[in-house]
Amino acid sequence: MFTRYQPLPQKLPSQPRVAAILSCQNNLMALSWHMPISREPFRYAIAIREENFTHTLLKEHGSFTLNFLSFDHYDAIDQCGRVHGNDVDKLSTSGLSSKTSDVHGNHIIDQADYVYECTIIDTYKNGDHTIFISDVTALHLNDSVNEHPTLFLGRGRYATLSEVSQVDA
Ligand SMILES: Cc1cc2nc3c(=O)[nH]c(=O)nc-3n(C[C@H](O)[C@H](O)[C@H](O)COP(=O)(O)O)c2cc1C
């Protein structure tokens, strides 16, 4: 038995998404609307609201890093999603650190399990977000990778995996 909603209700069912931190130059932003869209070459799409400072930075610089942090860091990720980088230096307020940058000057966050270096190759406006399509040009893999990804459930809720099943591949 289903109940049909049209128009769509304000609150949609929660879809857990991997939360990441996007760095463009010195700024950090929480991101969950992202997905791989090609394996060879490896390409990634991200959706960014025009109001975000990151949108301006991406248009200006054409590159970014995507930093994937474990569940231990959900609070820092959340902080990077609540304030704007033109007002706040999120690298210092979030408690995260970055000793290195990629070739374009975007942060590699020390606490990340792994980091994608991305170069934007295409952009299109779609509804209230802009889709940036990028080539993933390099991977930075941390020696100590954690098995607990950060999942964002929406409305300030975070979770991680509790069970993994293996089927014959
Ligand atoms: C977990 C999480 C995921 C988010 N995902 C996105 C996203 O995919 N796209 C987006 O435009 N904003 C997203 N946001 C909101 C931005 O992170 C937020 O507006 C942030 O303040 C923008 O920072 P900036 O203005 O420095 O770019 C997310 C927020 C959180 C907490």
Tens of pLDDT, residue by residue, the chain (169 residues): 999 999 999 999 999 999 999 999 999 999 999 999 999 999 999 999 999 999 999 999 999 999 999 999 999 999 999 999 999 999 999 999 999 999 999 999 999 999 999 999 999 999 999 999 999 999 999 998 778 999 999 999 999 999 989 999 8
Tokens found for residue 168: 């014959």
Residue nearest to atom 20 of ligand 1 (CA): 81
Instruction: Tell whether 58 is covered by a domain.
Output: yes
Instruction: Tell whether 114 is covered by a domain.
Output: yes
Give the binding-site residues of ligand 1, using a 6 Å CB cut-off: 19, 27, 29-33, 47-49, 52-54, 77-78, 81-85, 152
CB 66 within 8 A of CB 132: no
Task: Find how far residue 142's CA is from the centre of its chain.
Answer: 17
SS3 assignment, position 63? strand
Instruction: Tell whether 6 is covered by a domain.
Output: no
Instruction: Tell whether 106 is covered by a domain.
Output: yes
Tally Cβ neighbours within 10 Å of residue 112.
26
Instruction: Tell whether 164 is covered by a domain.
Output: no
Provide the residue range defining the domain that includes 35.
Answer: 17-159
Tokens found for residue 153: 């459930």
Which conformational region is residue 156 in: left (phi greater than 0), alpha (psi within -120 to 50 degrees), or beta? left
- Which of 41, 50, 52, 51 lies closest to 118 in space, CA to CA? 41
Instruction: Tell whether 26 is covered by a domain.
Output: yes
Q: What is the C-alpha separation between 26 and 90, in angstroms, rounded?
A: 9
Instruction: Tell whether 93 is covered by a domain.
Output: yes
Ramachandran angles phi, psi of 58, nearest 5° = -65, -40
Instruction: Tell whether 3 is covered by a domain.
Output: no
Q: What is the pTM of this model?
A: 0.97
> What is the domain count for the chain?
1
CATH number of the domain that residue 139 is part of: 2.30.110.10
CA of 167 to the centre of ligand 1 (A): 35
